[in-house]
């Protein structure tokens, strides 16, 4: 499947969003918003790029789908140029430490004075206030302080970083987007913008809400690898196969566990002991011994299209070739790169795969009402790239 064209047809078509360049959750939000049809103008600084990952442009999803404008934000005219963009935008998203946008003269008060309807999305690790608000951190930092990291990993091992999916992208990107869309929806009634304070520590904590309920009810131990969903349970875990690959077993409900027992096969005595914790050690040993007898892909074929809830653990390179992923076009190939396709899907206003970023600053600024003479002057004075 090749990437689609550049026409904006998604559910956010007609919305204009300014993205202040950064790393992590804000760029992913920018990509998703662009693929849902929004016009996303990414403001980058003129200073030399200090990114620690040098990604070729064709593969740099932090910039795809955007119009790139490089601006000297320390120059008064640079700040004014961004404010002129804000006047015409529906939303702005930034991921700086608290106070940075204010020091640049682009804080919420100034922005809302120019555009009372602007939705101002702020993405930070610790939020806009609190004793750690100005402290540096990354996904793992916020995950550690949320209590979530403590719960991830084997019983007799150390906490395991779940990539940077939980705080950065789950608790960050997704909560930022949800907040923006909620504020835009509310604006359709009130006509007024507002600030969205999206903190990764808040979002990661919110994702763990059910487990706080389980723990209070006495159904969850605050000990890693000791519970139903954290590898403590033998029928919700991964197992090594004969070829060194792994399968994931997730037959939580009795009817699915019964199917698993029949197909593995597992001693029928375990059917009545599924939730008897005293039987779990023996059950785990027997499951592990059986699965170790055959290679991963044989098990995948054996359990395919059954309700035993067993799946091969695929690598990132393998996943796009899986028949289900191929049938749903879950991945797309563009610019020589295979990547996940836009999600979620819409029945009428379909999202489109973002193309390479546009760096035609003249076209972008003309569309904002800035004439060519002024653009030439701003460029000659080093205000824009």
Residues designated as active site: 138, 168
72's CB contacts (< 8 A; 6+ apart) are: 45, 46, 78, 382, 383, 384
The CA distance from 119 to 137, in Å, is: 26
Give the contacts of 10 (CB within 8 A, at least 6 positions apart): 35, 36, 37, 38, 346, 349, 350, 351, 352
Mode of pairing for the β-strands spanning 16-20 and 39-45: parallel
Residues 6+ apart with CB under 8 A from 62: 23, 27, 28, 30, 31, 55
Residue 28 in tokens: 């992913």
Tokens coding 140: 């793992």
Q: What tokens were used for 93?
A: 């998203």
Decide if 125 contacts 173 (C-beta within 8 A): no
Query: Is the bond preceding residue 344 a cis peptide, omega within 30 degrees?
Result: yes
Distance CA 121, CA 124 (A): 10
Say which DSSP state 166 is in. I
Q: State how far Cα 187 lies from the chain centre.
A: 25
The DSSP-derived string for 285-332 is: HHHHHHHTTS-HHHHHHHHTTSSS-EEE---TTTGGGSHHHHHTT-EE
CB 148 within 8 A of CB 166: yes
Task: Look at residue 172 and give its three-state secondary structure.
Answer: helix
For the chain, list the strands marked E by DSSP: 16-20, 39-45, 66-71, 91-94, 119-124, 195-199, 236-240, 246-250, 310-312, 331-334, 337-340
């Amino acid at each position: 499947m090749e990437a689609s064209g550049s026409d904006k047809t998604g559910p956010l078509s007609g919305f204009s969003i300014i993205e202040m360049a950064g790393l992590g959750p804000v760029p992913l939000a920018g990509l998703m918003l662009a693929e849902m049809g929004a016009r996303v103008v990414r403001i980058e600084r003129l200073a030399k790029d200090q990114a620690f990952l040098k990604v070729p442009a064709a593969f740099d999803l932090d910039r795809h789908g955007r119009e790139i404008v490089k601006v000297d934000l320390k120059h008064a005219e640079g700040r004014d140029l961004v404010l002129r963009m804000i006047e015409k935008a529906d939303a702005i998203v930034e991921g700086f430490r608290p106070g940075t946008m204010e020091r640049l003269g682009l804080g919420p008060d100034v922005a809302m004075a120019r555009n009372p309807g602007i939705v101002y999305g702020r993405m930070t690790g610790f939020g806009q206030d609190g004793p750690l608000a100005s402290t540096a951190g990354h996904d793992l930092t916020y995950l550690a302080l949320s209590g979530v990291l403590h719960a991830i990993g084997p019983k007799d091992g150390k906490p395991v970083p779940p990539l940077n999916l939980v705080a950065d992208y789950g608790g960050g990107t997704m909560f930022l987007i949800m907040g923006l869309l909620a504020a835009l929806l509310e604006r359709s009634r009130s006509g007024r913008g507002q600030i969205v304070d999206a903190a990764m520590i808040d979002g990661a904590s919110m994702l763990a809400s059910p487990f706080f309920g389980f723990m209070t009810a006495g159904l969850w131990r605050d000990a890693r690898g000791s519970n139903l969903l954290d590898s403590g349970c033998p029928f919700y875990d991964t197992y090594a196969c004969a070829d060194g690959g792994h399968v994931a077993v997730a037959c939580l409900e009795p009817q699915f566990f019964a199917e698993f027992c029949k197909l593995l096969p597992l001693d029928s005595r375990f059917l009545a002991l599924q939730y008897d914790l005293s039987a779990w050690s023996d059950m785990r040993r027997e499951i592990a011994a059986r699965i170790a007898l055959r290679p991963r892909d044989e098990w995948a074929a054996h359990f395919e299209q059954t309700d035993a809830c067993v799946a091969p653990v695929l690598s990132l390179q393998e996943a796009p070739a899986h028949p289900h992923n191929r049938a749903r076009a879950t991945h797309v190939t563009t610019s020589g790169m295979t990547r996940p396709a836009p999600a979620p899907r819409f029945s009428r206003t379909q999202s489109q795969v973002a193309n390479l970023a546009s760096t035609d600053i003249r076209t972008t600024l003309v569309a904002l009402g800035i004439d060519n003479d002024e653009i030439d002057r701003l460029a000659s004075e080093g205000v824009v790239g």
